[in-house]
Amino acid sequence: MNIEYHEFYSEKLNRVMPFKTYGHSGKPIIVFPSSGGRFYEYEDFGMIEACQRFIEAGYVRFYTVDSVDSESWLNKGAWPGDMAKRHNDYDSYIIDEFIPFVKEHSGWQGPMITTGCSMGAYHSANFYFRHPDVFDTLIALSGIYDARFFVGDNTSDTDVYLNSPVDYLRNLDNDEYLHLYRNGNIIICTGLGNWEEDTIRDTKAMEEILRSKDVPAWIDYWGKDVDHDWPWWRVQMPYFLKELKDQDRL
């Protein structure tokens, strides 16, 4: 498997941002790390190995990015509006700096896949729904989709609201966005086991909201033995990739 380490200075974040790539061809998958995680955790926790057959066959190429969560949503000493503004800087880094790199590096000019586990699922969903022109496929595993999880009830700030999928999607009536969602591939999955209480709540909320907007989505609830942990995510990710491949959606 072709594995590469890269880094470049982000003008949007005013820091060097490292990342890794896995594969030689195929549709790019942008992977966001879990809470407090780094760009190398996806490999360290066996996710790349679990998806190896899809990578080596040239169906997909993974790009695992770093985060600034400690400066944004996990910066508990900051005002929620400032947390959200720092996340918006990260959004600009991904969309304006990182995605152009991916296009040049991979030669892929079409829409991409975004994914993540736990907090990475929040990021992947938020990026998918905010930028459906960039991503046409979402695989969110055990995610939180309500910014209240990070900021409490301090959701009156516009920047917080615009990064809380359950809020902005509930009020969305933009036909262009809805058309893209309806023609995309939305997979939102959670287990019903240990440490999944918050993700079950938010997954149910997303299911209700998407149904109300007539947006098709695969909302998948796995069993009560399926915990909020890497061993199950290593099962889920290749399972969903196989389903997408079998449906000619990779």
Are 137 and 184 in contact by the 8 Å Cβ rule? The answer is yes
Distance linking the first and last C-alpha atoms of the chain: 19
162, amino acid identity: L
For the residues 175-204, what does the mean pLDDT come to?
98
Confidence of residue 155 (pLDDT cuts 50, 70, 90): confident
pLDDT at position 27: 98
Q: Where are the alpha helices (DSSP H) in the chain?
A: 41-44, 47-50, 52-56, 80-92, 99-106, 119-130, 148-151, 158-161, 165-170, 175-182, 197-212, 230-246
pLDDT band at residue 134 under the 50/70/90 scheme: very high
Print burial letters for 136-151: b (CB count within 10 Å at least 16), e (below 16).
bbbbbbbbbbbbbbbb
Mean pLDDT for the stretch of residues 239-243: 98
d(C-alpha 108, C-alpha 62), whole Å: 13
Is the model's pLDDT at 156 over the cut of 90?
A: no
Name the band, by pLDDT with cuts 50, 70 and 90, for residue 75. Answer: very high
In 11-70, the DSSP E strands lie at 15-22, 27-32, 60-65
In the chain the domains, ranked by start, together with CATH numbers, are: 3-246 (3.40.50.1820)
Contact in structure between 180 and 134 (CB atoms under 8 Å): no
Mean pLDDT value of segment 32-43: 96
Mean pLDDT of 78-101: 97
SS3 state of residue 248:
coil
